[in-house]
Amino acid sequence: MRYAHEVGKVRAAEQALMARLPEGTLMQRAAAGLAAVCAGLLPRVYGADVVLLVGGGDNGGDALYAGALLARRGARVTGVAAGSKIHEAGLAALRGAGGRLAEDAGIEDADLVVDGLTGIGGTGGLREPYAELARRASEANGMVVACDVPSGVDASSGRVEGVAVRADVTVTFGTHKPGLLIDPGAAFCGVVELVDIGLDLPDPDVVAAWPVDIAPPEPGPESDKYRRGVVGILAGSDEFTGAAVLSVGGAVRGGAGMVRFASVPHAVEVVRHRWPEVVTAVIRPRDGVDQVGRVQAWVVGPGLGTGADGEALVEAALSTDLPVLVDADGLTILARRRDLLRREAPTVLTPHAGELSRLLDVEREIIEARRLEHVRRAAAELSAIVLLKGSTTLVAEEDRPVRVNPTGTPRLATAGTGDVLSGLIGALLAGGMQALDAAAAGAYLHGLAARLSSDGAPISAFDVVSALPDAFRSLAE
């Protein structure tokens, strides 16, 4: 896992470590790591043109000391101060190594630009002259390296208000910061390189998985279709049969031992035609879900409709003692029936920002601007695992680090892909995964399948279904 800590925890760990070290040691460690990454990005350090954009904080000092190390190796290093305040010891080190300070420099044509304008404490939009320097850095022809976090990106949330430096590489110190993993900030970071400076940190606030961290259930020698997990899906209607087909497809290709599907006659006929391996049943909503047969987890909501029949099915599924995933129309029903969430068994909710706005009674724009804040709030208020879809999908459970999915792609912003995700997570739940792990693994595999199926081209939801076996296979490899 990649672990990320919010600014307050990082600051506290830095202060505790600095109290035990000689003055300046921590900055020297950060600068050495930054200089090493910068040197590795240049074809050759000797003779390279390096420009440092220097603010008045510690990141400006990091940039100056790193510039001094590069200057000692023969680089032509010029610092550009964004204001009257500058780290004096760092500036002395730069000058002592042969570097210089100038009012302006050839930012656009430099081989390497180092962004040390603001640090992890920067919040709100960049003001002048910082904003203009950030614009010029983003348009530079050479490589752009950000110190700790690109200037203009909120380190704790990923918010970007106005201009921000668009880096090719971000060198972050001690730990990742949430804003490096969560869009829109993550999109400004490029490749993130972590430099260990010896911080003793508490539990993380946010985590992001590596492929090795994703472990979907694997069938063993004694497996049969029941041991692998039976997922029940309540989806579709006379009007929306596609949602039923896609959610069932996500479950079939997601490794379920058996899929039981129940709906109105027309949806059942369409699903039976496309997925003959699925056990289907026509359901009378008022009779509950026992008529469907034994399952280990439920998926309810895609294409279900939001009327009385749909509400009866959502209530019936949530009245069981099994894990339940609620999506799409089911979430709209829950917005008016939050009482249904008072249950002991795990509940997974998979809203996009608009659906979460109805659940929390918060404007969509506010949720999109503060995704991390609101997914945590939703998990606490709704007593559920909440998967907030978006350019960065977040998965939250109360009092646990938020999971950030690293495989998402804008190509998933097309109709039906959420239905595929609901079936896929349902299969993982039925297979025995803990609810938080199932939601995070489902998001990871879903994004990976989208990337594998896209290859730079537009995709459909069914392309994602078709690519799920390749996504599973890539994990195994």
- The verdict on whether residue 61 carries a ligand-binding annotation is yes
Mean of the pLDDT values across residues 27-51?
Answer: 97
Whether the per-residue pLDDT at 323 is higher than 90: the answer is yes
pLDDT in tens, 455-465: 878 999 999 99
State what percent of residues in the chain have pLDDT above 90. 90
**148 annotated to a ligand binding site:** yes
Q: State both tokens at 135.
A: 């614009």
455 is in an annotated binding site: no
**What is the rounded distance in angstroms from the CA atom of residue 101 to the CA atom of residue 81?**
7
pLDDT at residue number 468: 97
Q: Say how far apart CA 419 and CA 212 lie, in whole Å.
A: 26
Domain 2-207 carries which CATH code? 3.40.50.10260
pLDDT digits (tens, 9 = 90+) for 106-145: 999 999 999 999 989 888 889 999 999 999 999 999 999 9
Judge whether 60 is annotated as a binding position: yes
Residue 456, Ramachandran bin (φ over 0: left; ψ between -120 and 50: alpha; else beta): left
417 a known binding residue? Answer: no
pLDDT beyond 90 at 43: yes
Looking at residue 155, its pLDDT comes to 96
Q: Is the pLDDT of residue 335 over 80?
A: yes
- pLDDT attached to residue 20: 95
Question: Which of the four CATH numbers 1.10.10.10, 3.40.50.300, 3.40.1190.20, 2.40.30.10 does domain 211-476 have?
Answer: 3.40.1190.20
Does residue 406 have a cis bond before it (omega within 30 degrees)? no
151 has binding-site annotation: yes
Check pLDDT > 80 for residue 364: yes
* Mean pLDDT across 220-224: 74
Show me where the domains of the chain are located: 2-207, 211-476
* Distances in whole angstroms, Cα of residue 434 to Cα of each of 21, 73, 295, 401, 441: 43, 52, 16, 15, 10
DSSP string, 129-164: THHHHHHHHHT-SSEEEEESS-TTB-TTT--B-S--
CA distances from 355 to 79, 330, 334, 352 (A): 48, 10, 10, 5
The Cα-based distances of 255 to 224, 235, 450 in angstroms read 12, 19, 17
Residue 121 confidence (pLDDT): 85
What pLDDT score does 111 carry? 98
Q: How does residue 369 score in pLDDT terms, banded at 50, 70 and 90?
A: confident
The response to whether 391 counts as a known ligand-binding position is yes
pLDDT in tens, 420-433: 999 999 999 999 99
Average pLDDT over residues 194-208: 97
Residue 419 annotated as part of some ligand binding site: yes
The answer to whether 408 is annotated as binding is no
> Binding site annotation covers 405?
no
For residue 226, what pLDDT is reported? 78
pTM summary value: 0.93
Least confident stretch, 56-60, 192-196, 225-229, 346-350: 225-229
Whole-angstrom distance, CA of residue 451 vs CA of residue 457: 10
User: What number is the average pLDDT over the span 216-237?
Assistant: 87
What's the confidence (pLDDT) of residue 393? Answer: 97
Predicted local distance difference test score (pLDDT) of residue 224: 73
Burial 128-152 (b: 16+ CB within 10 A, else e): eebbebbbbbbebebbbbbbbbbbb
Alpha-helical segments (H) within 42-128: 58-72, 88-96
What pLDDT is recorded for position 454? Answer: 86
Q: Is residue 423 marked as binding?
A: no
pLDDT at residue 476 in the model: 85
Is 200 marked as binding a ligand?
A: no
352 belongs to an annotated ligand binding site? yes
Say if residue 454 carries a ligand binding annotation.
no
Task: Report yes or no: 299 and 247 within 8 Å, Cβ to Cβ.
Answer: yes
pLDDT the model gives residue 407: 94
Q: Give yes or no for a contact between 54 and 86, defined as CB atoms under 8 angstroms apart.
A: yes
Mean pLDDT of 302-327: 97
pLDDT at 268: 97
Q: 130 among the known binding-site residues?
A: yes
Beta bridge partners of 263: 282
Q: Is 22 helix (H, G, I), strand (E, B) or coil?
A: coil
Mean pLDDT, the chain, as a whole number? Answer: 95
Q: Which pLDDT belongs to residue 124? A: 82
The CA R_g of the chain, rounded to the nearest whole Å, is: 26
59 among the known binding-site residues?
yes
- Please tell me whether residue 50 adopts helix, strand or coil conformation: strand
Angle (nearest 5°) at CA 410 between 404 and 416: 95
Confidence class for position 221, pLDDT limits 50, 70, 90 = confident
Determine the Cα–Cα distance for residues 469 and 458; give it in Å rounded to an integer. Answer: 19
pLDDT in tens, 72-118: 999 999 999 998 899 999 999 999 999 999 988 899 999 999 999 99
